Chains A and B, each alone.
Chain A
Amino acid sequence: MLRYILSKLGQSLVVILLVSIIIFSIIEILPGDISATIIPEDATEAEAEAIREELGLNDSAPERYFKWLFGALHGDMGISLKTREQVAEKVMHALGITLSFTIPALLIGTLIGILLGIAASLNRGRFVDNFVSFIANVGNAAPGFWIAIMLILLFSVKLKWLPVQGYTPFFANPAKAMRQMVLPVLVLMLPTIAAITRQTRSSMLETLNQEYVRTARSKGQKESVVIFKHVLKNALTPILTMLGLRLNICFAGAMISESIFGIPGMGTVMIQSILNQDANVMLGGAVTMSIAIVLITFIIDILYGVVDPRIRVAR
């Protein structure tokens, strides 16, 4: 198991490094001169040159990358070209906000999806199965942006149950923070429920027909034990795979949610940095997000081993 973990860790580091190189390269080949967004329009040549020198824009690309990498390894991702604040601090703060609603959305969505998937698989061909499948298909097909607007119109405008937008730090006002988080979490949760429901149903149906399930029933075990101990546990592996994929989709969806609901998370930071052509924030933000995704994927990989001992032994 230790070998397995170390191997996965090594792979993760390589992935992060490659991501940083790719993103840096993409930023480099973007058209236009980044300094034009920073240097005041009426600056003289000497003033402009001084700014370029200060921000390291005169260095070559490899030089800038390695300087950045060295700094990043020491926790310093440079400063924002636009605002001169520390990128690492800015990005970590924003990431925390994004995770505060994407992780709950992912976990709750997964839990509900599993439960609905189980219900559908146990009632195959009946109304419950058809209804759940229909909901899952709609959830899969509907774009996140549309879901967000519809939820706002229903819960905020028509019913006036929830605020339209806004963000409050949890410890500043927990009740307000939770009410503001309901819609953003729902927006991310619904497609997750749809995807996990379909996957769970499919995995469960496949596993339900296995001989050991028949054996367990014939031994007189309770149905709940059969379902949760034997069937679900063996059906979990593809669900975990889906969970890993959903994580990336959740982060992408978070950008939309943050934009619509006014949440100052990673999505907001990234969009602003792109609009401002703030290369340092773009790079720092993208690498930080990739680290977060790689780390969580790494945890999921470990969970494979926990859920299925055969994977541990095989590795």
Chain B
Amino acid sequence: MRKIGILLLISLVALASVFAGGAQESSTAQPASTEPASKYGGVLRVAQATLDYSETIGLPFMTTGTETETVFTALYDKLWTRGADGKIKLMLAESYTVSDDGLEYTFTLKKGIKFHDGSDLTAEVVAWNYNQAIAHKMFSGVSKAEAVDESTVKVVLSKPNPFFLMANSAKCGWCITSKANYDKNGEDYARRNPVGTGPFKFVSMETGKKVVLAKNENYWAVDTDGSKLPYLDGLEVSAISDPTVAAAALDNNEIEVYSGTLNKLIENLEVYGIEKFNVEKGAVPTKAQGIRFMANNRNAKLLADERLRKAIAYAIDGQAIAAAIKDGTVQYTTQVALKGAADYVNDAVVYDYNPEKAKALLKEAGYPDGFEIEINIDQTAESKRFAELYQYYLGQVGIKVKIMAYANTERNAIQDRDDTWDQLLVSGTGIVGESTNVWANCGPERKKWRNMQPFDTEPEWEALWYKVADAKSEAEGYKALQDYFRYAYDHCCIYLFMHYFADCKYSTKNVNLQLDKSGIRWLDSSIAYFTAK
């Protein structure tokens, strides 16, 4: 017994030495100097729910994600992106032209830009990147890219697309990586050792869990005062899937910013004894959420009737829903596009909350006691949350909702099981302002490879869809898009009740961060900096 006791005691001492082995790791973040004017310095540690695409971090031309991926925006630049105002902003390109037939986009590159490995950014490298992406089927509607000369690259489309720049402004596949790194070290090495032209260069990575980046001392961009960028010395991005753990990590000073939805946790923070954190409000939303009645299917039993669709619109109090979500992460709207964007419809009809009107319309349509309908959602918590709120409001006017959650691939199959499909689809669009995506998905010509039935839309709306498809220029395209969505909103083919910030920024109470409020890149690491306490 004595020996057992001694053994246990030794074990406890060993354990204690591990615990006591140094105080808690000191924060590697070093806020800027005490002089208020200095923005330089510090390592920003960010956590987000997942680190998608870290497995192809070195090969953006094999990455299907969008540029909301923090690591990609830190490592790489693209020829163009979308600015905070929702408009196209040139990055590595200084100008571009479009051919008269809309098939060729010719970009002139900025001079003197180098990759992290010292190799030059040239048209040949850009063309190689794009052709790799085309070969890996990352782009659609793009035939090839070719270097016209040292600093001019031409992208050739297979068919005209007035929204080509906007639709591709957020895709990781357009990020430019170093050809020299790939050629010298091979694909396997390049996959795990990314080399870009971005504000930060690669240091190390644990796939799917953490990426460590250091400042690119030779970054080409400067701020509005002409000072060098980035301000930060480094960036660490890690994945923390559990919001409780994230809150603990914030409180324990292991990270400065968490990007994710902590709203439920915030209400329970007192239970955990963790103080509230700063919530970044007023940022441009990154997702739109609402009900989409997909494509106005004329053969649907219920929802082919515009009166019933309008009844649904009147029944839901979008403003109350937005206000009820306490963390301030949601703003009420009725359109996919951001106000002020090229595809925003200024004169669209707005169906404000009016349950009496909803009931009147139901009665007029022959459903005085309401009807039963399914809401089809994906398996995210956000969709479920919104669907339950819609279910409540619709229930108040007699519309009984059954919420069905499916995996994404299953949803496609269910949507197409027959052309009498009568469902409401609760879903979000990935990037706010990508109404071209919604337009494509609602179209009469569904992509046949998914074995989808083409929707039988109302002739008038169908004609408007084709006007967008046939547009020759960007201006013509956006005009047609506005008309298309005006019809959709006026006739309740699509409802949208709010924009929300899929990624909310929670920062520790003693650090304030200046973050870019772009809807594309919630964290523009090139301009982020610490401010004094």
Q: Contacts A43-B449, A262-B209 given; indicate if A156 touches B272 (C-beta within 8 A).
A: no
A-chain residues with CB within 8 Å of residue B210 when the two chains form the complex: 166-167, 262
Q: Does A131 lie at the interface of the complex (its beta carbon under 8 Å from any beta carbon of B)?
A: no
Q: Please choose the segment from B135-143, B369-377, B393-401 that sits at the chain A interface, where 4 or more of its residues have CB less than 8 A away.
A: B135-143
Query: Chain B interface: which of A1-9, A115-123, A201-209, A305-313?
Result: A115-123
A48 to B446, CA, bound (A): 14
The minimal Cβ–Cβ distance linking A2 to chain B, given in whole angstroms, is: 36
Q: Does A42 reach chain B (CB closer than 8 Å)? A: yes
Chain A residues with CB under 8 A of B252: 156-157, 160, 163-164
Q: In the assembled complex, which residues on chain A have CB atoms less than 8 Å from the CB atom of B138?
A: 40
For the side of the interface on B, what is the size category?
35 or more
Give the chain B neighbours of A90 by CB distance below 8 A. 55
Please pick, from B8, B11, B62, B206, the residue contacting A84 in the complex, using a CB distance under 8 A. B62
B248→A164 contact, CB < 8 A: yes
**Chain A: interface residue total (CB-CB under 8 A):** 63
Given contacts A118-B4, A157-B273, A268-B209, contact A163 B254 (CB under 8 A): yes
Q: Residue B533 at the A interface, CB < 8 A?
A: no
Q: Does A224 contact B (CB under 8 A)?
A: yes
Kindly provide the distance from the CB of A241 to the nearest chain B CB, expressed in whole angstroms.
23
| A29-64 at interface with B (beta carbon < 8 Å) | 31-34, 36-37, 39-45, 47-51
For B440, give the chain A residue with the smallest CB separation: A42
Does A300 sit at the interface, judged by CB under 8 A?
Answer: no
**Considering only CB atoms, which chain B residue lies closest to A175 in the complex?**
B21
Closest residue of chain B to A272 (Cβ to Cβ) is B208
Q: Which of A42-92 contact B (CB under 8 A)?
A: 42-45, 47-51, 80, 82-85, 90
Quick check: is A259 within 8 A (CB to CB) of the other chain?
A: yes
Residue of A nearest to B158 (CB): A44
Q: Which residues of A contact B20 (CB under 8 A)?
A: 161
B350 CB, min distance to chain A CBs, angstroms: 29
Is the beta-carbon distance between A164 and B249 smaller than 8 angstroms? Answer: yes
A162-207, CB < 8 A from B: 162-169, 175-176, 178-179, 182
Chain A residues near B18 (CB-CB < 8 A): 178-179, 182
Closest B residue, CB atoms, query A52: B449
Residue B259, interface by CB 8 Å: no
Is the pair B208, A268 in contact by a Cβ cutoff of 8 Å?
Answer: yes
B412:A32 contact, CB within 8 angstroms: yes
A51 to B137, CA, bound (A): 7
In-complex Cβ contact of A182 among B19, B411, B441, B450 (8 A): B19
- Given A152-B248, A161-B20, A165-B245, verify A47-B137 contact (CB < 8 Å): yes
Known pairs A85-B55, A165-B238, A262-B210 / 9 extra A-B pairs, C-beta < 8 Å:
A32-B409, A45-B447, A80-B55, A83-B62, A152-B248, A153-B273, A169-B206, A179-B18, A277-B407
Q: List the 5 closest A-B pairs by CB distance, nearest first.
A: A32-B409, A48-B449, A32-B410, A42-B140, A83-B55
